């Protein structure tokens, strides 16, 4: 049974002494989470398939607090090595944040190739599973936690998202499965962002005939703001779930979507 920590966490110390693996940390939401976690006292292993990006990001963080690891999260051997390298460097592991993901094809089921469906699931769902599977013994040893970045599109349907939506819905269910199977040893939660201003969404918008108009339309799906989220708004939710402030929270699915899925 977990004991209540009554200590009030101070800003700048909310992950003090913790070691985190953040995947997809080469750009976008993952890079922002890695930076925020370091600002809050964590040591962070930044993992990404884009080697140059992730090494540059990690080396821009304060000395010794972050390492960059080039790995494809869908490759089991690469994931085992990434976890091993993290533990060897920092002496353990407290938090896994699964951010690495791909948008997949913008297509209806009939037009989605089997290869595109498989790759979307390999990265978004299998990758999340592999990090958790191989990180678990370390998390259990230190009463750690998992934070998965799913999507608002895991919770509602959206046209032409026949592969991405299901892959992210799988992440939501996997989050709950881990929460139940590994309580009281670890916590497992997920964040479901609305549309966020990152290279991923820019690439999606560029597929539209009029990207400016598409940007305005994507912004308008969020009743609270009428704009896209900034990566830091997702990172703050991940920080909360990763910290001891969330000591009574597991199996939770937290929409950070400006009210999009409240409709
Ligand atoms: N941007 C959005 O609107 C939005 C909305 C909801 C959920 N999300 C989710 O948030 C996460 C981050 O998205 P983002 O917008 O920052 O995307 P992004 O494309 O800007 O960044 C994703 C990062 O993941 C890395 N990556 C991709 N495949 C990988 C693999 N096989 N192994 C390791 N790393 C890999 C990429 O190299 C990249 O650095 C994704 O899981 C995405 O599905 C994004």
Task: Please report the domains of the chain, with CATH numbers, ordered by start residue.
Answer: 19-194+231-256 (3.40.50.720), 195-228 (no CATH)
Per-residue confidence (pLDDT) for residue 240, from 0 to 100:
98
Average pLDDT over residues 195-214: 94
The CA–CA distances, whole Å, from 37 to 16, 28, 138, 214, 241 equal: 9, 15, 19, 32, 12
Q: Regarding predicted confidence, which is higher, 6 or 56?
A: 56
Q: Compute the distance from residue 135 Cα to the ligand 1 centre, in Å.
A: 20
- Which tokens belong to 209? 């005939």
Residue 218 among the catalytic residues: no
Q: Are 78 and 72 in contact (CB under 8 A)?
A: yes
Rounded Cα distance between 241 and 245, Å, is: 7
The answer on pLDDT for 179 being more than 70 is yes
pLDDT at 131 over 70: yes
pLDDT computed for residue 223 by the predictor:
97
Residue 167 alpha carbon to ligand 1 centre in Å: 13
**Residue 213: is it exposed, middle or buried by C-beta count within 10 angstroms (0-12/13-18/19+)?**
exposed
Closest CA to 184 of 103, 248, 245, 88: 248
pLDDT of residue 125 exceeding 80, the answer is yes
pLDDT grade for 194, boundaries at 50, 70 and 90: very high
- 262 Cβ neighbours under 8 A, 6+ residues apart: 223, 255
pLDDT for the residue 8: 79
Among the listed residues 242, 260, 256, 252, the one whose alpha carbon sits nearest the alpha carbon of residue 156: 260
How far is ligand 1, taken at its centre, from the CA of residue 131, in Å? 15
How far is CA 160 from each of CA 104, 106, 114, rounded to the nearest angstrom? 10, 5, 15
Task: Give the model confidence (pLDDT) of 152-174 as tens digits.
Answer: 999 999 999 999 999 999 999 99
Site residues for ligand 1, CB cut-off 6 Å:
23-24, 26-30, 48-50, 53, 72-74, 99-102, 123, 127, 149, 151, 193, 195-196, 198-201
Burial of residue 248 (CB within 10 Å: 0-12, 13-18, 19+) is exposed
Residue 101 Cα to ligand 1 midpoint, Å, equals 4
Strands (E), the chain: 19-23, 43-48, 66-70, 95-98, 145-149, 187-193, 253-256
The whole-number average pLDDT for the span 18-27 is: 98
Q: For residue 7, name the pLDDT band (cuts at 50, 70, 90).
A: confident
How much of the chain exceeds pLDDT 70, in percent? 98
* Among 164, 182, 208, 218, the one annotated catalytic: 164
Mean pLDDT of 34-63: 97
pLDDT over 90 at 6, yes or no? no
Predicted TM-score (pTM) above 0.95? yes
Give the pLDDT confidence score for residue 36 in this predicted structure: 98
Atom of ligand 1 lying closest to residue 203 CA: 19
Percent of the chain with pLDDT over 90: 94
Task: Please report which confidence band the pLDDT of residue 119 belongs to, taking 50, 70 and 90 as the band edges.
Answer: very high
- Specify the residue with its C-alpha closest to ligand 1, atom 32: 72
Spatial contact of 195 and 228, defined as CB atoms under 8 Å apart? yes
pLDDT per residue over 91-103, tens digit each?
999 999 999 999 9
Q: Looking at the predicted structure, is the pLDDT value of residue 1 above 60? A: no
Instruction: Specify the pLDDT at position 2.
Output: 54
* Neighbour tally for 142: CB within 10 Å: 17
CA 127 – ligand 1 centroid, Å:
12
Q: How far is CA 115 from the centre of its chain?
A: 23
Ligand 1 pocket, mutate which of 23, 25, 29, 150 (most atoms under 8 A from CB): 29
Mutational test site, ligand 1, from 23, 101, 167, 254, max ligand atoms within 8 Å of CB: 101
């Amino acid at each position: 049974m977990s004991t209540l920590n009554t200590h009030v966490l101070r800003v700048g110390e909310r992950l003090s002494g913790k070691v985190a693996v953040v995947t997809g940390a080469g750009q976008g939401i993952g890079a922002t989470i890695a930076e925020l976690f370091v600002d809050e006292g964590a040591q962070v292993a930044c993992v990404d398939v884009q080697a140059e990006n992730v090494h540059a990001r990690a080396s821009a963080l304060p000395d010794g607090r972050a390492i960059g690891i080039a790995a494809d999260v869908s490759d089991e051997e690469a994931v085992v090595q990434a976890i091993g390298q993290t533990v060897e460097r920092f002496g353990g592991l407290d938090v896994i944040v699964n951010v690495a993901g791909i948008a997949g094809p913008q297509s209806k089921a009939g037009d989605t190739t089997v290869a595109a469906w498989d790759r979307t699931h390999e990265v978004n769902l299998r990758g999340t599973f592999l990090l958790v599977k191989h990180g678990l013994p370390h998390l259990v040893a230190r009463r750690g936690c998992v934070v998965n970045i799913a999507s608002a599109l895991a919770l509602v349907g959206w046209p032409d998202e026949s592969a991405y939506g299901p892959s992210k819905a799988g992440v939501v269910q996997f989050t709950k499965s881990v929460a139940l199977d590994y309580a009281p040893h670890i916590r497992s939660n997920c964040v479901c962002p609305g549309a966020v201003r990152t290279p991923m969404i820019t690439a999606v918008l560029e597929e539209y005939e009029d990207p400016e108009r598409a940007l305005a339309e994507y912004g308008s799906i969020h009743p609270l703001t009428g704009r896209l989220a900034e990566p830091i708004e997702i990172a703050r939710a991940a920080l909360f779930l990763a910290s001891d402030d969330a000591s009574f929270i597991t199996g939770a699915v937290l929409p950070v979507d400006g009210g999009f899925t409240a409709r």
